[in-house]
Amino acid sequence: MIRFDCDYLEGAHPAILQRLMETNLDQTIGYGEDPYCQAAAEKIRTACGAPDAAVHFLVGGTQTNTAVIYSLLRPHEGVLSPSTGHINCHEVNAIEGTGHKVLPLPAENGKITAQAVEQAVLAWREDASWEHIVKPGMVYLSQSTETGTIYSKAELTAIRQVCRKYRLPLFLDGARLGYALAAPGNDLTLSDLTQLCDVFYIGGTKVGALFGEAVVIPNPDLIEGFRSLIKQRGGLLAKGRLLGLQFDVLFTDRLYFRLGQHAIDLAMKMKEGFAKKGYAFWCDSPTNQQFPILTCQQVERLSRDFSFDDYGPAGPDSRISRFCTSWATTQEQIEALLNAI
């Protein structure tokens, strides 16, 4: 069985394990105040061109989304999100558990537009009952999105402008940022994100680490008490150095970017392979998640040797399927798949 279900099937890049072995018996204080975290934060600041940014490390995405959103909203506010956003669909009551509504915006290919954000704000402002309605208090989006697409610099800049106009913090979920950065057509760098976002994170779990997300807050004064809030939400790892160490390795010799590139190269090869054999796609993804449409018969046959995700019906006798590559996918795995389809 070769697995393409998701991008967190394997452990970590060997360089990370190697470093874990080497440092295993070092003694450090806990909760992210160790030299590994400091070194990693410094490297991330450099990579972002943001010498003053605050950098925090959390274990996983749901924790991170929850802590950031909780820290940025006032009690009567909610978070604008694509209807397909992870916080709206796949985190149970995590955001609601902080007292806030997720305000879904129409998502086209997983993305929202500056216009949709502005309309939501104006609809709230112009409603006679506005005081009875959750106020749009910030914007959440992800790069790459749940459907594999990416925002262009122009799109994100437009969203940013609306956010600034209405004083909405902009938060970018970068669980798959490594794959977005390497995508064909991508024109957004870490420095751009630092300019455009109020908070964003660089996902490790899906891009080479055992686990870990690095939150970047370009203006370090934006959130008071964020470390306490991370603790409160169960996200402050006792042996915090494990997080620092992993990001230190990922941001040494551009490993993070190289892993992203590797996954994208194989995803594009997979995409081409499906296309050549005449498969249609649910959406045109330039990243590591590909969504070919398979007949039910094809699904059944392929499932004997390969695993992949089912995203629901595409027609009376066909299914949307998701195949993911990752930093760990091999040429051989892709070739085996392409031979089988």
Kindly state the smallest distance separating residue 54's Cβ from a second copy, in Å: 14
Kindly state the smallest distance separating residue 318's Cβ from a second copy, in Å: 18
Report the side by side order of strands in the sheet with 135-142: 54-58, 213-217, 199-203, 170-173, 135-142, 77-82, 102-105
Specify the residue, 91 or 118, whose C-beta has the smaller distance to a second copy: 91
| CA distances for 199 relative to 96, 174, 195, 214, 262, angstroms | 20, 10, 10, 11, 27
List the structure tokens of 178. Answer: 């490594």
Kindly state the smallest distance separating residue 231's Cβ from a second copy, in Å: 5
> Cβ of 24: how many Cβ atoms within 10 Å?
7
- Cα separation, 322 vs 180, in Å, equals 17
- Cα separation, 246 vs 244, in Å, equals 5
Kindly state the smallest distance separating residue 253's Cβ from a second copy, in Å: 20
Kindly state the smallest distance separating residue 50's Cβ from a second copy, in Å: 23
Specify whether the CB–CB gap between 179 and 288 falls below 8 A.
yes
Specify the residue, 227 or 269, whose C-beta has the smaller distance to a second copy: 227
- Cα separation, 65 vs 71, in Å, equals 10
Specify the residue, 155 or 335, whose C-beta has the smaller distance to a second copy: 335
Handedness of CA 159, 90, 179, 309 (dihedral sign): negative
| CA distances for 296 relative to 12, 14, 26, 318, angstroms | 34, 38, 54, 5
Specify the residue, 165 or 231, whose C-beta has the smaller distance to a second copy: 231
Strands 318-324 and 289-290, sheet pairing: antiparallel
Beta bridge partners of 142: 173
Specify the residue, 28 or 252, whose C-beta has the smaller distance to a second copy: 28
Kindly state the smallest distance separating residue 335's Cβ from a second copy, in Å: 17
Specify whether the CB–CB gap between 138 and 168 falls below 8 A.
yes
324, containing H or E segment: strand 318-324
Kindly state the smallest distance separating residue 310's Cβ from a second copy, in Å: 7
**Residue 83: cis peptide before it, omega within 30 degrees of 0:** no
Say which residues have a Cβ less than 8 Å from residue 118's Cβ, sequence separation at least 6: 162, 165, 166
Quote the longest CA-to-CA distance of the chain: 63
Specify the residue, 155 or 309, whose C-beta has the smaller distance to a second copy: 309
Specify the residue, 196 or 314, whose C-beta has the smaller distance to a second copy: 314
Specify the residue, 184 or 225, whose C-beta has the smaller distance to a second copy: 225
Kindly state the smallest distance separating residue 187's Cβ from a second copy, in Å: 29
Specify the residue, 211 or 281, whose C-beta has the smaller distance to a second copy: 211
Specify whether the CB–CB gap between 197 and 218 falls below 8 A.
yes
List the structure tokens of 84. Answer: 């397909």
Kindly state the smallest distance separating residue 273's Cβ from a second copy, in Å: 20
